[in-house]
Amino acid sequence: MVKLNEYGKVAQECWKDIENHFENVGVDEFIVMPNHIHGIVLLADENVATVGNRHACSLQCEQRQYQKLPVIIGSYKSAVSRKINESQHEFTFQWQKSFYDHIIRNEISLAKIRQYIISNPINWLEDRNNIPNLYY
């Protein structure tokens, strides 16, 4: 289990709040890790074109018009950054530029991804970015 510091708690609370800021959007399973997050965003609009992006490029970037997911993720990142940076002056919090997205097309895939998210803290012990592992 990952014990969140104050910044992780900000990231967690902002994630839970996503559905209060966007119409026809919900959040499902998610986990805040020490250096990244995993989460499922539910879009009630079944138009797949709302998933990809053009301006806040995910790692699955294609040339598409307006899409909802990049706006949601961009707003989430902005809210987390703003709250963390307002609360301290030790450093400037920054996200990586992009994000990875994947369209979940069926219940089997959804179940597998939920399990991956739930199990992710176990994998942190072996993660190459986990500080004890940086020196090996």
59 belongs to a structural domain: yes
65 belongs to a structural domain: yes
Q: How much is the pTM?
A: 0.78
1 belongs to a structural domain: no
- Rounded CA-CA distance 52/71 in Å is 10
Computed over every residue of the chain, the mean pLDDT equals: 82
84 belongs to a structural domain: yes
pLDDT, one tens digit per residue, over 57-72 is 555 555 444 578 999 9
Between 124 and 42, the higher pLDDT residue: 42
Number of compact structural domains in the chain: 1
74 belongs to a structural domain: yes
- Mean pLDDT confidence for 35-46: 86
117 belongs to a structural domain: yes
Confidence of residue 26 (pLDDT cuts 50, 70, 90): very high
- Percent of all residues in the chain with a pLDDT value above 90, rounded to a whole number: 47
The confidence score (pLDDT) of residue 66 equals 56
pLDDT, one tens digit per residue, over 12-25 is 999 999 999 999 99
Q: Which domain holds residue 45?
A: 6-130
The confidence score (pLDDT) of residue 20 equals 95
136 belongs to a structural domain: no
- Mean pLDDT confidence for 91-117: 90
Within the chain, how many helices (H) and strands (E) appear? Answer: 3, 2
20 belongs to a structural domain: yes
| Residue 93: burial class (beta carbons within 10 Å; 0-12, 13-18, 19+) | middle
Between 39 and 126, the higher pLDDT residue: 39
